[in-house]
Amino acid sequence: MMTRVADLRIGDLVDLENDKYADPDNDNHWMPYLLGEVAEVTQETPACVAIAFEYFDIVGFPTGHELDVVGRVGDDPIPNWCAGCGMEGHSDDDPHEGRNTI
């Protein structure tokens, strides 16, 4: 669900792939395979919201920018994103099934 960055909550899982602020050069090879877990939301200025992500970085977004929230930590089910092969929704017997976040 597309959500304004100012309205994100701690624990939201967001898809950052192709985001012009999170990966401006489109060269982070992990973006297609992992979700960003929101750790902190701070209104830095009236025009900028800083989002801190677990295991990633802090990114400044324009206040009106939207990100695709695909789940929350603790929700069931959380989409399975496999960093090994880039697929989601593996079966239970897959040896590298995981719920990976960045």
Please check the confidence at residue 8 and state whether its pLDDT lies above 80.
Answer: yes
Number of domains present in the structure of the chain = 1
CB burial of residue 16 (10 Å; 0-12, 13-18, 19+)? buried
Task: Tell me what pLDDT residue 56 has.
Answer: 80
List pLDDT tens digits, range 13-23.
999 998 999 98
Alpha-carbon distance of 87 to 90, in angstroms, equals: 7
**Residue 31 pLDDT level (bands cut at 50, 70, 90):** confident
Long-range contacts of 36-45 (CB under 8 A, 24+ apart): 36/101, 36/102, 37/11, 37/12, 37/13, 37/73, 37/101, 37/102, 38/8, 38/9, 38/10, 38/11, 38/12, 38/13, 38/14, 39/10, 40/10, 41/5, 41/6, 41/8, 41/9, 41/10, 43/6
Domain that holds residue 72: 1-102
Helix (H, G, I), strand (E, B) or coil at 5: helix
pTM beyond 0.85, yes or no: no
Report which of 99, 96, 71 is spatially closest to residue 85, judged by C-alpha positions.
96
